[in-house]
A and B are shown apart, each in its own frame.
Chain A
Amino acid sequence: MGTYITTGIITEFSVETKSIENLKVKSETPIDDFLNAVVDNPTSFNFSATEKVYKWTLKPEIMEKELKAFLEQYYNDMYGAEYALDEDCEEILSFLNTNPTQLEINAYSEEAGNPVFNEVYNYEQNITVGSQEISISLRTITLSSEGKVSYESIFGHLEFFQKSLRKTYKQNPLGGGIIIDID
């Protein structure tokens, strides 16, 4: 049950190492099963590990090179051809025209308060790997948001839409990280 439906892209996610160790899956590489359950574009992420946490972060070069083309297509599909006239879309696209670094893009998403490009930092979500549910921590950038939604998941339409969106945008390395959420 929730209030807002949002779409966005995953820029970072992490999981406790013990959650992966406790996964009961048939494959020999449970970490790959986990990774494929979270995103469709695992090769777009850098991996790092500490004793307690595995973490995946979107590669800086993908953010810097692919984001503008991805957003232009996404906004066009979401808001229609008039997206170019929308102040919020225009603002982020103009910013990307300055060829910002990943750090500058991150800073923009955290500070600009732009509703079509707004970072949501470190929230917890449960995902299903095989038949097990595990908790992960996510960092995403919201690309669209809509209020007045009350939704109790029964048959997984949102998961279906998310899967379709990821396939639609699969030619872009950011596409496999699209996420739909209701919160």
Chain B
Amino acid sequence: MGTYLKTGIITRFSTSHEELQKTKIHGINPEETFARLLVSNERAYKLEKIGNEYIWTLKPTIIEDELGAFIKEYYDDIYGPKSRYGREIQELIHFFKTTPTYSEIQLYLESIYNRVFCADNYRQQCINFETQKVKCQTDVILLSTEAQVLYKPVYDHLPFFEKALRTRYLDFEIGGSLFVEANNRKPMLAEKKEPSIIF
């Protein structure tokens, strides 16, 4: 059951060694199995092991090279030419025309008020694997949010739509990081500021 229907990109995900072991299947590395529960482009992520934590981070080069072109196509598809978010989309497209670095994109996400491009980090999630629940944490960039949705999954329509989106954007490496979800976590937006402060 949820309140917000959202789509976005998973930029980082992590889990503990103990949780990772729940995804162990004979003959397959659990690091691969676990990553595939969340994304379909696991090679686009850099894996690090820090202490007890396994952390996958979307490669900065992919974000720098693809994100601008990707979101332009994505927004054309979802919002069309007469979007109520026109100004925010235009600002964002203008920002990506400056070929920002990974750090500048991160800074934009943290500091610019934009309802179609905002970070939602440190999300605690449980994903189903066979009969078990695997705890993990995700960081995402939200690309669309819609309220007034009550949803109780029965036959998994949302994963079906997610799969279709990933196939639709297969030309982009980033496409495999897309997700669709419905939950009651309210998107946290940055304070309203003029974009020119940042770029």
Chain A residues close to B by CB (< 8 Å): 5, 7, 77-80, 144-152, 154-157, 160-161, 163-165, 167-168
Q: Mark B142-176, 1 if CB is under 8 A from A, else 0.
A: 00101111111111110011011101100000000
Residues in A whose Cβ lies below 8 Å from that of B7: 157
Q: Decide: A77 near B157, CB < 8 A? Known: A151-B148, A154-B148, A155-B144.
A: no
Question: Which of the residues B78, B154, B163 comes within 8 Å of A156, measured between beta carbons?
Answer: B78
Among A156, A157, A165, A168: residue with most chain B CB under 10 A: A157
Q: B5 on the interface (CB 8 Å rule)?
A: yes
Contact A148 B146 (CB under 8 A): no
Chain B residues close to A by CB (< 8 Å): 1, 5, 7, 77-80, 84, 144, 146-157, 160-161, 163-165, 167-168, 180
Nearest Cβ on chain B to A129's Cβ, whole angstroms: 14
A93 to B1, CA, bound (A): 33
Q: Decide: A78 near B144, CB < 8 A? Known: A147-B154, A148-B152, A161-B165.
A: no
Residue of A nearest to B1 (CB): A148
Residues in A whose Cβ lies below 8 Å from that of B164: 77, 161, 164-165, 167-168
Question: Which of the residues B1, B148, B150, B165 comes within 8 Å of A164, measured between beta carbons?
Answer: B165
Residues in B whose Cβ lies below 8 Å from that of A144: 155, 157, 160
Given contacts A155-B146, A168-B163, A168-B168, 11 further A-B contacts (CB under 8 A): A78-B156, A146-B155, A148-B1, A148-B151, A148-B154, A149-B152, A152-B148, A154-B147, A161-B161, A164-B168, A165-B164
Nearest Cβ on chain B to A179's Cβ, whole angstroms: 13
Contact A160 B149 (CB under 8 A): no
Q: Decide: A151 near B149, CB < 8 A? Known: A157-B5, A165-B161, A168-B167.
A: yes
SS class of chain A's interface: helix, strand, loop or mixed? Answer: mixed
**21 A-B residue pairs with CB within 8 Å:** A7-B157, A77-B160, A77-B163, A78-B156, A79-B155, A144-B155, A148-B150, A148-B152, A149-B150, A151-B148, A152-B148, A154-B148, A156-B80, A157-B146, A160-B77, A161-B180, A164-B161, A164-B164, A167-B164, A167-B167, A168-B164
Nearest Cβ on chain A to B12's Cβ, whole angstroms: 24
Among A5, A78, A155: residue with most chain B CB under 10 A: A155
Q: Decide: A155 near B155, CB < 8 A? Known: A77-B163, A164-B161.
A: no
Residues in B whose Cβ lies below 8 Å from that of A77: 160, 163-164
Nearest Cβ on chain B to A177's Cβ, whole angstroms: 15
Residues in B whose Cβ lies below 8 Å from that of A157: 5, 7, 78, 144, 146
Nearest Cβ on chain A to B2's Cβ, whole angstroms: 11
